[in-house]
Structures are given as C-alpha cells and as structure tokens.
Amino acid sequence: MTVREPTPKAAGQAVPASPRPRRGAGGRGGWTPWLYLAPALLVLGGLLVYPVYQLGLISFLEYTQAQVSGGEPTAFRGLANYTELFADDQFWQVLLATVGFAAACVVCTLAVGCALAVLLTRVRAVPRLALLLAALGAWATPAITGSTVWLFLFDPDFGPVDRLLGLGDFSWTYGRYSAFLLVLLEVVWCSFPFVMVTVYAGIRAVPSEVLEAAALDGASQWRIWRSVLTPMLRPILVIVTVQSVIWDFKVFTQIYVMTNGGGIAGQNMVLNVYAYQKAFASSQYSLGSAIGVVTLLILLAVTLGYLRLLRRQGEEL
C-alpha cells in the first residue's frame, strides 16, 4: 500500500490565515488585567496617594495648632515654608547625619545579609533551620520591642554587654557616635533577615553546574561571589538595596526610642525625628510636612538614579 505525500501548494494559491486572538481575551492592550488590579490600585490610592497629596498641600499652607483643632488655613504661603526650611542650618546638619547614618546601615545590612546567605548554602539542615528561625524571629520583632531590648542589653547599670566588654558604667546613648552605633546595630539586627532570605533564595536558583565550573577553573570563593554570583543576582540585589535605602533613610522608631527623641541637644536627630519634632513638639505642621516632602523627593531621586545606573551597567555587559 502506497502512501501519497502531500503535494505542495501552488505558488499563487492563498494560504488561509490563522485566526487572530480577540483583543479582550488576553491580547495586548486589553482591559482585563486592569480590572483585576483595580481593587489593589484603589487601596494603594487611598493609603498612599491621598496622604502624599495632603502632605504636599499642608507644606504650602500656614498650618498650626489652630488648624489642627478645626480652623481653616489662614494663608497660602507657597514656597515660603521650603525657603524657611532651607535657610535653617539645623536642617542641613540633620540631612547630612541622616545620609551618613542610612548609608552605614545599608552597607552593614547588605554585608551581613549576603554573608549569612552564603553561609546558609554551606551548613547542614539543622544549623540552617536554626539560623533561619533566629533570623525570622528578629525580623518579626516589632521595632519598639527590639529597641527596648537593645537598650537593656547596653544599659550601663544592668546590661550584660558592658560587663562582658569590661566597660564599667559606660553609657552608649550619651555620646553622639556611640548612640548612632547602638542604633545601627539594632537596625542591622532587624533588617538583615530580609536580605539573607532573599539572597539565599537567589543563590539556590543558580545552576550548580555554573558554580562547579568556576571552582574547577580555580576561582576562589570571593571570586565566585564577585564574578559569577553577583552578576546573576543583580535583580535581587537591586531589590534588597533599594528596600534597604528606603527603610534606613526613614528610620524613626529606633532613633526616637533609643536616644529619647533625638539624643542630647538633638545630636542624634534624623529627618523623620526632625519632622516629628517640628510638627508635633513645636506645632509647626507646615514645616514638618515640608520636611516629609523633601524626604520623599530624596528617596525617589536615589531610587530612580540607582535603577538607571544598574540598567546602564546591564546594557554594557
């Protein structure tokens, strides 16, 4: 029995076109995805967009305790609040301290989190589970609780740290840099679990053949991390870095609790605490809102600049 092969179509014969997908059934530009996202967008709009709008509006008004009590804003000041803020030398001192403190927290958090993520890939199951549980416990601890515990640990009279280090009755919160160091340790302690777990998940997703090939070529562990893992983990590192910058730049609870509102004579003031002092301690709500707007703009500029730099580096590779 012979099987006839299909004859090729003639050159001029039309080929039936495949049916086009309907626009509403998964085609690009359809409204279906936006319908699913609409509830989340409405919630985000109510929780984020409207408060930011109110923050910006108050920063342009004369808003004092009288307006908080129900009175109407007395005048539209325009940029006068920002002019007054930028003319204040304390603002620039606080801004410089905030940038330095946030940068130190970000670097230390990334270093500790990445180092422990690599450690998780090299220990057995039981130590790995213990480390993960301990890290998640630190992550789940509320900021005010963690700050109170750390204050007790470093208390000059009853804390065990001074006794173990032989420092006597040394007060960590008295000096400016020692207080910042104490807060930095607490911030890193409650922030590194996010970096550790995220980077660990990224390392586990890297094919083992790539790491084995690098080891066979004689690359050290540091070289493998710098030349192999870091390029492959760049999207994850971008996420944890941006998140750390945002979290550490707007630290409030740890500073306020551990330095009793900003330290002696405001020596440990950061922007969020400075805004709180202006708005609620001095009833200058317009200036406090202006500080909040400046903080928001700085975070947006840093985040967008960092993402643009990483995108440019990715295109060059």
Q: What is the pLDDT of residue 25?
A: 47
Residue 82 pLDDT more than 90?
yes
Cβ atoms of 259 and 268 within 8 Å: the answer is yes
CA 290 – CA 82 distance, rounded (Å)? 6
CA 126 vs. chain centroid, Å, equals 30
pTM given for the model: 0.80
Superfamily name and number for 92-274: MetI-like (1.10.3720.10)
Phi, psi dihedrals of residue 5, rounded to the nearest 5°:
-75, 145
Give mean pLDDT, residues 194-199: 93
Q: What is the pLDDT of residue 263?
A: 87
Q: Which of 278, 279, 272, 276 is nearest to 298 (CA)?
A: 272
The tokens for 234 are 């760049």
Question: Considering the chain, what percentage of its residues have pLDDT values greater than 70?
Answer: 87
CA 101 – CA 98 distance, rounded (Å)? 5
The tokens for 232 are 């492959």
Q: What is the pLDDT of residue 313?
A: 59
Phi, psi dihedrals of residue 268, rounded to the nearest 5°:
-115, 30
The tokens for 130 are 């213990």
